[in-house]
Amino acid sequence: MLNLRVRPALARVVDPVATALLRAGVSPDAITVAGTLGAVLGALVFFPQGMFFTGTAIVFFCVLTDLLDGAMARRLGRTSRFGAWLDSTCDRVADSAIFSGVALWYLGDGDSTLLGGVALFCLVAGSTVSYAKARAEGLGMTCDVGLAERAERLIVVLLGTLLVGLGLDGALPVCLWVLAAATAITVVQRLVEVRRQAALPLP
């Protein structure tokens, strides 16, 4: 129900911007790349310096370009395989930058090798979750199960960085540990699901 209410509200904001950009000759792919570059810069410039509020604000704004480029493509009335590939690839780049920025903070001024390692684990495990789905789909199977899809991972880590930026220093470690556990569970869930489907007789 919440999703049904939120989507129309977002569309009222995003659709006019999408229309204006298309009229100006901007392509959806350009928005995808620009949003990714912004997220990378926000995470890798500000997070390692401990400027979590500023970094989170920039990353959050840039992540929202996922909605914008999708709206632009819909208004054009066409999608492309390259656009879909570019969007997915840029998502992985942005995710890696976010967790790398957090890891750099903890391995530097944050002074916690353990939490730096947890952040790197989240990065690697998150990439494994995404790869498991892509590889399964490439083999003709589905792999949509799991606790920690990309949206959930982004929400948890950016909630942690935002709360640290607001002065709640213990929030990010908690979020990282929760995310590490949830992502590891998701990897196992996807392994089990693909194994189950692979064991089924071919139609």
Q: What residues act catalytically?
A: 91
Measured distance CA(29)–CA(39) in Å, rounded: 15
- Please list the helix, strand and coil fractions of the chain in percent, rounded to the nearest 5, in that order: 80, 0, 20
Count CB neighbours of 137 within 10 A.
12
- Mapping DSSP onto H, E and C, the string for 87-128 reads HHHHHHHHHHHHHHHHHHHHHCCCCCHHHHHHHHHHHHHHHH
